[in-house]
Each structure stands twice: as C-alpha cells, then as structure tokens.
A = this chain, B = another copy of it.
Amino acid sequence: MNQGVEWAAHCAALLAALPPDVAVPAATLAEFHGLPAPYLAKAMQQLAAAGIVTAVPGRRGGYRLARSADQITLLDIVDAVDGDDAAFRCTEIRRQGPSAVPRRYYSPRCGIAAAMWAAEQAFRDSLATVTVADIAAGVQRDSPPAALEKASRWLATALTR
C-alpha cells in the first residue's frame, strides 16, 4: 500500500479538526507532520482530484475538506491515493493448458477469483465504516493534551504568518 495513504489520512483528520473555512497549504501540512513536502503535495493533489479536498487559491489559500468530514470515509482516501483496482488479478488460468475448452462453456467467474474478491470487498466494507470525522475524534481523544496544545499554537502561528 502506498505510504501516501497514511499521510493523506492524517492531513484529512487535521483539516477536519479546523474550522471549515480554514485552508492549509500543502507545505504547512508537510511541516506539521514532519513529511517531505514534494511527496505530500502529490498525495494532496490525489485527494483533490478525487473531490475529497478543495484547493483554495490566494494568500490565505491551501487545502480544505471538500465536504463534511462525516461524509468522507477512509475508503475514499485509500481509493484516491492508492487507486481502486482489485489487488487480486484473475488471469483465467482455468481456461489455459491441455484441459481448456472454448471459453463460452465456463462459468462467468472462477471460484478462486470470487473468493479473493469477496475478501477484498470485506476490506473495503470495513474501511467504508470509518469516516474522517471518526478519525479526527479519535486523534482528539487519544493525543497527549500537551501535543494538542502545541499543535494549536503552531498552527495558529503558521496559518497567519
């Protein structure tokens, strides 16, 4: 899995914790999370392309969530950054080799592929139950109070400089 998934999820959670009209530049998101700015910029562009965040132009510009944090799921983020292609690719082995018969005689789906894709669907269903709002609430709950305080202070300065 692309490392950008982790970065994008953290950035989305941070944006969810801020007032909805506050936009945060990608460089500030990178600095806040201690991440390499060019790579994070790419992950944020992927979120924007998927309609998860909006790029706000101008002096106080940057990224903000494109919709309410409870309307964005972890699955949306994974699909945006990692793509939504199936991990298992069926190459129809059953129709190869000396036992092959014309393809019209086979069931539409190989049972092995069906089982693999059912497991992938279980993965996706699980991710779809978690929203960015849930994640942001978890960060708020689980973070050391001193870290939250440092974060607030640092952001207040960074976003007004």
Contact = CB atoms under 8 A, between A and B. Distances in A.
Interface of A: 1, 3, 5-7, 9-10, 13, 31-35, 74, 87-91, 93-94, 96-101, 105-107, 110-113, 115-116, 118-127, 130, 134-135, 138-139, 142-144, 146-148, 150-151, 154
13 contacts: A9-B112, A10-B112, A34-B93, A34-B97, A74-B112, A94-B143, A107-B142, A111-B139, A112-B135, A115-B130, A119-B124, A122-B123, A122-B125
A101 to B, nearest CB: 5
Contacts of A5: 88, 116
A150 B98 contact: yes
The count of identical subunits is 2
A91 B134 CA distance: 20
Contacts of A96: 33-35
Contacts of A116: 5, 74, 127
Contacts of A123: 119-120, 122-123
A119 B125 CA distance: 8
Contacts of A3: 89, 91
B154 A74 contact: no
Nearest to A32: B97
